[in-house]
Amino acid sequence: MSEEILINFTPQETRVAVLQQGVVQELHMERTASRGLVGNVYLGRICRILPGMQSAFVEIGLERTAFLHVADIWQPRETATDRPIEKVLAEGQSIVVQVVKDPIGTKGARLSTQISIAGRMLVYLPQEKHIGISQRIEAEAEREVLRERIVRLVREGEQGGFIVRTMAENASDEEFATDIAYLKKIWADIRDKAATAAAPSVLYQELSLSQRVLRDFVKPDTTRIVIDSRENFQKLGAFAAEYTPAVRPLLDHYTGQRPLFDMHGVEEEIQRALARRVDLKSGGYLIIDQTEAMTTIDVNTGGFVGVRNFDDTIFKTNLEAAVTIARQLRLRNLGGIIIVDFIDMENAEHKKAVLEEFNKALASDHTRLTVNGFTQLGLVEMTRKRTRESLAHVLCEPCPTCGGRGEVKTARTVAYEILRELLREARQFNAREYRILAGPAVVDLFLDEESQALAMLSDFIGKSVSLQSEPSYSPEQYDIVLM
């Protein structure tokens, strides 16, 4: 099944859509304002040692100094001792460190001197020697086979150890070899920079979403990766040429007038993925409710009536629902405990067929999941690993007017929608000026944090843009007036 990946860039956020046969299967988003530091490697300088706390403050170039505890200082296993921190480090010393916890409130970032670099299939530990296997791969025979394969692929005498990630259970030797080469290249770059850089400085930044697409998302059936920004097309081309050369020929720069996500119906799909109700082609529908503890999905027949009898109607609706639910789990990135309430079926063969169809549809999901059969109550229980926030949690916040029973888009999400709508309007109409009418929170955002974004767009379209706050507007409501 052919697959395309679309990457939409704005200065504020990167959005990625994965399409199979032209249908959106996955959505990923990363906002510039909320990118974390975990995984970044720095050349830091010890600015203060606290023997009483067995800790040190390290200057790594951030607003606040970072924190390093003696327990997070790596030492070779054969020479490791419980030496106090003042015997291990000295003030003014340069040191290579990695962020393991982002700064929170008044606390600085937490550091470790044990470096780990994540690849697609493996995690590289340049200071270690052993080969570890993810604990989620439980079968001892399978663990041993994976360990032997990695040992065979790592050249004798080479420095460093590896941890095999869960998703590598079915990886080929070629995929492992590609990952090993990529990780060794990253570590070589870090060492080269550390040898010449002055502390404090950044040696390695955890990959951006668009770079992770090239590393993690590409599969044998990926036909192209479409990028709607010339600058980022060139940057990703350079990244691919150095680290993922096999992916370089797939990159394609989109130059059309119509926005890339509009062209492929992704914007509409995002709106539908935030809705509670999902309509099925047959006339049935799903109701998806996401709570703190679990997600429930209820299947209903709606107006669908089978050609033979009611049992036929139920069976056909459940079959269609099974495929749609599998796609919605990926699209919305729903994780944790998921309960599916298919319409009750008396026929045991029908139940078996629906469960088989459901498992078949879930097979293309690369997130780890488990599915149990029908319970006595006729429910299907499953779990899906939480790898990141769900789409609704990224784009929405609890509604202030409904006590958290529903959700509305954040002011930032609405602001970015307005920026995209302004660009659309500017390409269709030749107005003298554009006026944005929106709720106070959205207007305040444009006057403060997103003022530069609005100014950049105004400059890009060559027209002035004014703001008008409307206290009576709901959080998601806005109008763009052509003057």
pTM higher than 0.75 for the full model? yes
Write phi, then psi, for 480 (nearest 5 degrees). Answer: -120, 120
Write phi, then psi, for 106 (nearest 5 degrees). Answer: -90, -5
Q: Exposed, middle or buried, 189 (CB in 10 Å: 0-12/13-18/19+)? A: middle
| Strand, coil or helix: 30 | strand
User: Rounded to the nearest 10 degrees, what angle do helices 266-273 and 310-332 cross at?
Assistant: 110
Write phi, then psi, for 439 (nearest 5 degrees). Answer: -65, 160
DSSP state of 34: G
CB 355 within 8 A of CB 380: yes
List the one residue out of 362, 390, 411, 401 whose CA is nearest residue 288.
390
DSSP state of 206: P
Helix-then-strand count for the chain, H and E? 13, 26
Structure tokens at 56: 């040190």
Per-residue pLDDT for the chain (483 aa), expressed as one digit of tens each? Answer: 789 999 999 999 999 999 999 999 999 999 988 788 889 999 999 999 999 999 999 999 998 999 999 999 998 766 656 788 999 999 999 999 999 988 877 788 999 999 999 888 899 999 988 888 887 777 888 888 888 888 888 876 677 889 998 777 778 888 888 889 889 999 999 999 999 999 999 999 989 999 999 988 888 889 999 999 999 999 999 999 988 888 999 999 999 999 999 999 999 999 999 999 999 988 899 999 988 789 999 999 876 555 557 778 889 999 999 999 999 999 999 988 999 999 998 888 999 999 999 999 998 887 878 998 888 888 999 999 877 788 988 898 877 766 676 788 899 999 999 999 999 999 998 889 999 999 999 999 999 999 999 999 999 999 999 999 999 888 889 999 998
Cα angle 88, 91, 96 (rounded to 5 degrees) comes to 65
Whole-Å CA distances, 269 to 26, 203, 222, 394: 10, 39, 21, 15
pLDDT for 80: 55
pLDDT for 26: 93
**Residue 94: how many CB atoms within 10 A of its CB?**
15
pLDDT for 79: 62
Cα distance between residue 117 and residue 120, in whole Å: 10
pLDDT for 215: 85
pLDDT for 140: 84
Please name every residue paired with 202 in a beta bridge, in sequence order, or none if there are none.
Answer: 42
CB 72 within 8 A of CB 100: yes
Write phi, then psi, for 374 (nearest 5 degrees). Answer: -65, 135
